Structure 1
């Protein structure tokens, strides 16, 4: 408690200095005459303050859990090892270690590559083998989430331990985690991830000791510990409950979409006018049925009854006018078929937002409108024919299933636990290309979740939980801030444009205490763990963070492909990889040149000495952070005899 109290005092002091500095910057220090660089700089400083606030909130309830209780005696456990194209021997190394776990369980290899040699190797050792069922043919596979969803439907263990193919578990992993589930509200226990092939200097920033430590412990204090995709135990009941709720939500959305389209079609037909009184009456009856169905949805009535009643109402209304011109009717039906995706779809016509808009623009005849509504009713996909299976426990809204799944569990009232102990030995990327592929996928997945299910608007989450998820998403926007932090000193040193009125005493007495307290807070929280590499990569990977945001935005809002790639699990042949860090090299060159130009301008009397030296120091700090990518590009992989610091329980 003494340490937590000290951390809280530091948080308050740091934020007080930070707020004072940023408020002063906005009201008294912005050089509005050079707004084009001054405003972006103060905006990103505000971004950094918000980032600091979110970090402070995370640390406010940092939770160091006591020893877990003993595991229960009578529960069943399935151990899932997910694989796609990893080498057979690597997968089997993990599978054999999983088989040796001391607690009673069943080990399964989930082979998304459907490889006969993988099946043979697993079955030869008495290890279960699962690949996709036939139902997945022709449907979205949803990567790892789909693989896990398929396996959940093929097994029945009360608890599931999920392991990546390169995460070799220790025999005690279940003994050390199952005890937490004595609380019936606990749905997930996430353990630390530690990589054995990382040298002490960690050139690729793989270990993430700040996240797998204080940050997860802080989130745990707010009941917001994240699922990280591997080395985690989940309660099947919670997952299946979440899958069923997701299924109901999807069906309800399908009904709402069909009713919206029906209402627009009927409105268009009513404006055109009916040829007979019977047609007008039928259109009004169906329109009234749409209103009744929407009211039933609002009251939360059974979806099957809502759709059944609506279909009866449409059938009754159209029965009296079915003798209309068949040729015109067929033409209308052919058009709705074309706009809606084709009648060969296994679940009937498939209506998307574009089809709804197109249908609403057509001049429907009354009869065509009624029959089109009948067709729209059939698009209500109660069986979810667009998916391989109706119930999807693992979230499939992003290329990384973990964060979205955890957020849904929390929104449904379940608890999660972070157990700070290394209970599996993993393998980290050993080359720059693989590391960048991995980081891009993580960031893309996080951005997809933010754009599709923003935690700030999700029902069921507490305010701290919303902010814990948002904090992680917010951090991935730092790529845009990095551009400004790199550009600002270059602009001054080369062109003499100062984004602040002056580097006065008022400036330093506000900025320096904030920076010092912020760094002291990190030191106290880290308590000896190495965090410098993580700080470097938060800036140095700015092109990755920007690409993640732009590609996720294009995917979510315009349906563009992410170009998803599975992270290689084996060491790649080394070759110079300077092209992968071209943006960083350009930025570093520009910073270095700016220093030379700034010194020349200072000696020629075109720039103030104090301002020049401050900006040169700023450039030096930027170069110190960016320089880590040069080490990464030259890294040739792990040498087995190098020492490595092992994660330990706190």
Structure 2
């Protein structure tokens, strides 16, 4: 009875957190400043209440010297505490939020007379034609009147000259590839500054990012303030990233970067520390000239550009509107390499350029921004790795890194965990999901940890690889090199549970854990679930018929003398899926009337359970029209929140297709 009373009393903290949430959340929206401060403040207090308990009550004392238990326990709690410091800075930033939509609308023509001259630079290296023509078709459709488009080709491909000419763009190359993307942009900008129509502003797009029609017009509006040096817009993706795609959850779970672009960047903007993320941004040329061009001391020149501009009195601001959309890394290897490069670039900045604790004239908030980024990369991912090691130390060596009872964990950890989930999901409209968030961190944890170590301990310069986009993705590929460590950890974890059951005499330490065995057992099972899903992510499913957009649109199908209305559910440059028709012959030829494109020649490919799949045969002009229709509309691709029922439906569809 006493044990039951203790268990119930230990749940009081969780009950209070949930009760407060039910009482307070209906009173305000996520834009409410006072509610954000209240909830994030409560979360911070609960987090440090938990951490103080962890440090004072759960780590083995060093009374007998530096034993393995002491070393393991203090190493684990130290990394956990640093990760909480990182989380605390994020909570601080999230207490505020800046929305510049109305500001952009008010200043849509602030210049009065002739609009400022804008250059749009599309940086490319080895992207294929299919990728580049999307971006060029989007740039051609821009509604800004004083725009010149340049393709900056570090691959020096002669065939691209004719392609650029067809889309009204200019093809530029340079003799060398020095300083990669930053050097590429600096080279062309230096040449352009000698021209009579030198630009006032330069917009930058990666080769796979398509501008919406109003991208330039909306972004230029925020330069009405002469102290704005750079405007960043969010990156949206018209294709699922590898985690979304391989787990069949693209329509039910947001891409891994969505929380940053939808919530952290607007929060950073409110504190005056929004950051440039490279593509989908625009910079004031006079400010760029003042700082000597794009900085080249880091492979993440975009973040460094923000700090350099700030040190010269120019602000980076954030316009949270879907004004571009691009291609997320489709392969898991490319996905991991990209994040490793981001981490490496951040470490280069901290080590070689702007030490946040050095005498470099940075504002306090910029120093805090650097510390926040440093802690994120150096603690979040190592902590994810050691969280897998903790139970193994117990099962195989009897080392307990968290020496606590179940009631203690319930009393101290669960209130904090509940507050994190409730608060962040309230702010983000449901983007934070246990297990899936851990999987997205774990999949790149080791490469990022390695990059952080290399970046901090070695001066460089460091080599990096450009993120590959496009290519043949029509086959199932098992990423064995990436899966192998997760499979090994899964096997060791599972074996760790089984061995004490099979050989109890050889694992007597298991019985000595007392009530704490339930914590270790839950932790172990949780790790098995995370590792199992991570291994599933390493099985890359085929990607066919890309790009495409699932949007319902009414169209007319003409086959012979028949003219039949139908719903277009899925559209790509060479295919479509329609619903609401029957009686057509597979292989029949006809046309489909698409708004803003015209009558496109079709062939009935095959019948589906609710309609047909069509093979499209557009003319070159119609193909460009479809590309613009797919990617330049004022729309937000992808999903912005988690949806459990839709996830379950996605998993069921995936099982049925196997």
Say whether the fold is shared (TM-score over 0.5): yes
User: How far 1:89 moved relative to its partner?
Assistant: 4.0
In structure 2, the residue matched to 1:292 is none
In structure 2, the residue matched to 1:9 is 38
TM-score with structure 1 setting the length: 0.71
In structure 2, the residue matched to 1:387 is none
CA offset digits 1:603-631 (Å, max 9, x no partner): 97724463222112112333333444323
Counterpart among 50, 56, 64 of residue 99 in structure 2: 64
Counterpart among 51, 59, 78 of residue 86 in structure 2: 51
In structure 1, the residue matched to 2:445 is 542
User: Quick check: 1:536–1:628 contact (8 Å CA) kept in 2?
Assistant: yes
Matches within 5 A, 1:141-290: 141-155=178-192, 156-198=198-240, 202-203=244-245, 206-243=255-292
Change (3 A) 1:564 1:572: farther
Counterpart among 376, 389, 392 of residue 490 in structure 1: 392
Matches within 5 A, 1:39-438: 39-67=74-102, 68=104, 69=106, 70-71=108-109, 72=111, 73-104=114-145, 105-132=147-174, 134=175, 141-155=178-192, 156-198=198-240, 202-203=244-245, 206-243=255-292, 393-438=293-338
Q: What SS does structure 2 have at the residue aligned with 1:196?
A: coil
User: How far 1:48 moved relative to its partner?
Assistant: 2.1
Q: What SS does structure 2 have at the residue aligned with 1:192?
A: coil
In structure 1, the residue matched to 2:404 is 502
Structure 1 distance, partners of 2:532, 2:357, is 36
Q: In the comparison of the two structures, how many residue pairs are matched? A: 493
User: Quick check: 1:161–1:234 contact (8 Å CA) kept in 2?
Assistant: yes
User: How far 1:637 moved relative to its partner?
Assistant: 4.2
User: How far 1:227 moved relative to its partner?
Assistant: 0.7
In structure 2, the residue matched to 1:457 is 358
User: Quick check: 1:578–1:633 contact (8 Å CA) kept in 2?
Assistant: yes
In structure 2, the residue matched to 1:249 is none
Change (3 A) 1:145 1:37: same
Structure 1 or 2, whichever has the larger Rg, is 1
Structure 2 distance, partners of 1:488, 1:598, is 17
User: How far 1:100 moved relative to its partner?
Assistant: 2.0
Structure 1 distance, partners of 2:350, 2:227, is 26
User: Quick check: 2:291–2:309 contact (8 Å CA) kept in 1?
Assistant: yes
Structure 2 distance, partners of 1:455, 1:647, is 36
1:522 aligns with 2:563: no
Q: What SS does structure 2 have at the residue aligned with 1:422?
A: coil
Larger mean Cα displacement after TM superposition, 79-88 or 478-487: 478-487
Counterpart among 614, 625, 633 of residue 530 in structure 2: 625
User: How far 1:92 moved relative to its partner?
Assistant: 3.1
* Deviation beyond 6 Å, 4+ runs, structure 1: 602-605
User: Quick check: 1:192–1:421 contact (8 Å CA) kept in 2?
Assistant: yes
Larger mean Cα displacement after TM superposition, 398-407 or 592-601: 592-601
Larger mean Cα displacement after TM superposition, 525-534 or 23-32: 525-534
Q: What SS does structure 2 have at the residue aligned with 1:176?
A: helix
Q: What SS does structure 1 have at the residue aligned with 2:236?
A: strand
CA offset digits 1:195-217 (Å, max 9, x no partner): 11117972478551101111111
Structure 2 distance, partners of 1:59, 1:626, is 30
Structure 1 distance, partners of 2:40, 2:432, is 20
Change (3 A) 1:237 1:598: farther
User: How far 1:81 moved relative to its partner?
Assistant: 0.3
User: How far 1:91 moved relative to its partner?
Assistant: 1.6
User: How far 1:529 moved relative to its partner?
Assistant: 3.6
Counterpart among 463, 469, 485 of residue 370 in structure 2: 469
Change (3 A) 1:540 1:170: same
Q: What SS does structure 2 have at the residue aligned with 1:420?
A: coil
In structure 2, the residue matched to 1:317 is none
In structure 1, the residue matched to 2:637 is 646
CA offset digits 1:165-223 (Å, max 9, x no partner): 11011111112211111111111111111111117972478551101111111111111
TM-score with structure 2 setting the length: 0.70
Structure 1 distance, partners of 2:512, 2:271, is 50
User: Quick check: 2:138–2:210 contact (8 Å CA) kept in 1?
Assistant: yes
User: Quick check: 1:422–1:648 contact (8 Å CA) kept in 2?
Assistant: no
Larger mean Cα displacement after TM superposition, 494-503 or 538-547: 494-503
User: How far 1:79 moved relative to its partner?
Assistant: 0.4
Structure 1 distance, partners of 2:640, 2:49, is 38
Pairwise CA RMSD: 2.7
Matches within 5 A, 1:527-606: 527-529=429-431, 533-553=436-456, 555-556=458-459, 559=460, 562-573=462-473, 574=475, 575-597=477-499, 606=511
Change (3 A) 1:535 1:506: closer
| Relative contact order higher in (CA < 8 Å, ≥ 6 apart) | 1
User: Quick check: 1:421–1:647 contact (8 Å CA) kept in 2?
Assistant: no
User: Quick check: 2:406–2:515 contact (8 Å CA) kept in 1?
Assistant: no
Larger mean Cα displacement after TM superposition, 114-123 or 225-234: 114-123
Structure 2 distance, partners of 1:223, 1:403, is 14
User: Quick check: 1:21–1:511 contact (8 Å CA) kept in 2?
Assistant: yes
User: Quick check: 1:166–1:426 contact (8 Å CA) kept in 2?
Assistant: yes
Change (3 A) 1:609 1:531: same
